[in-house]
Amino acid sequence: RMPGRETVTIEDAALMLGTSKQGVRELMKRGIIDIGIVYPNMSTGKTNRYLISRQKLERFLQGESV
């Protein structure tokens, strides 16, 4: 993890939330947790991209748990 980064990797988010990488993806995709943005892959339509905000994740962790 790099200090000062505004985004978090899906791996780091999974560790912080106590779930799997796929769990983070599903929670974000379904709108259950708002910790970033899910970008649909326009070229294939199959794989999404996930941008996780460090600030939103930290706020989420302070307020509630999954």
Give this prediction's pTM: 0.80
Asked if pLDDT for residue 4 goes beyond 90, the answer is: no
- Kindly indicate the confidence band of residue 66, based on its pLDDT and cuts at 50, 70 and 90: very low
Is the distance from CB of 20 to CB of 45 less than 8 angstroms?
no
Q: What is the pLDDT of residue 64?
A: 63
- Read off the pLDDT of residues 9-55 as tens digits, 9 standing for 90 and up: 999 999 999 999 999 999 999 999 999 999 988 777 778 899 999 99
The per-residue DSSP string of 34-53 comes to -SEEEEP-TTTSS--EEEEE
Q: Which residue has better confidence, 19 or 3?
A: 19
